[in-house]
Amino acid sequence: MIRINLLPVKKDRRREAARNQVLLGVLILVAEVAGFAMWNMSLSAKVEGQRNENHTQSAAVEQLKKQVSDHDKILADIKEYEKRSEAIESLQSARSGPVFVMLELSRILSEGGRPHVDVEKYKEMVQLDPSAGYDESWDSRRVWLRSFDEDNREVKIDGVGLTHEDVAEFLRRIHLSEFFTEPRLVSTDLAKSSVKMENVTLGDADPVVHFEIKGRVRYR
């Protein structure tokens, strides 16, 4: 009868099972450590990416702050420039306004005088409508002014003309002048002249045309 001793085999099997369990445990531990390491690396990458994003956003915010600051400075500079321009324009108007307007009226009512016009535009206008130009042969002494009032560039001219044609010629010259805009004849009245003329009595003088013209002045 053959006998087999199984005790050493059982011990070897137990040792092998124990080694397998230890190896499995080590493998599980290594897998957990590797997984944790990978998770940690992924988390670190996300954190680093978020830091980079925050840095980019912060830089963009600082750039926007700088742009807004520059924008406010530009607006302030524009306002300052506008104030200076208005001041200069006001000084220019005060310097060249009433004086130049009165010189223009004097030029219109002087012998051989004419209104100040844009020559090229005037030529084109006369070519299209010859009657729109002023009469160069007109005797300006046929009209005289009694008053000239201005308030905030609104003007009123009160005067006398020998005939309605003389008043019309004076109004035409005012209309053509670059110093006046929107001139209009407000009223006319045919009456005796109140101006005393040498060797002429008021009773013998022919009636003259009293007129009133309103409009606006345009200072150069």
Percent of the chain with pLDDT over 90: 24
What is the structure's pLDDT at 177?
92
The per-residue pLDDT for range 130-144, each reduced to its tens digit, is 888 899 899 988 999
DSSP H or E run through 146:
strand 143-151
The per-residue pLDDT for range 50-64, each reduced to its tens digit, is 777 777 777 776 776
- Listing DSSP states for 158-206 in one string gives EEEESSHHHHHHHHHHHHH-TTEEEEEEEEEEEE---S-BTTB-TTTSP
Contact 214, 154 (CB under 8 A): yes
What is the structure's pLDDT at 52?
76
Whole-prediction pTM value?
0.53
Average pLDDT, the chain: 77
Q: Report the C-alpha dihedral over residues 112, 115, 121, 124, rounded to 10 degrees.
A: -40
More confident residue, 71 or 139: 139
Q: Whole-angstrom Cα distance, residue 117 to residue 121?
A: 8
What is the structure's pLDDT at 118?
87
pLDDT (average), residues 14-33: 70
Domain boundaries, the chain: 106-217
**For residue 103, what are the contacts with CB-CB under 8 A and spacing of at least 6?**
none
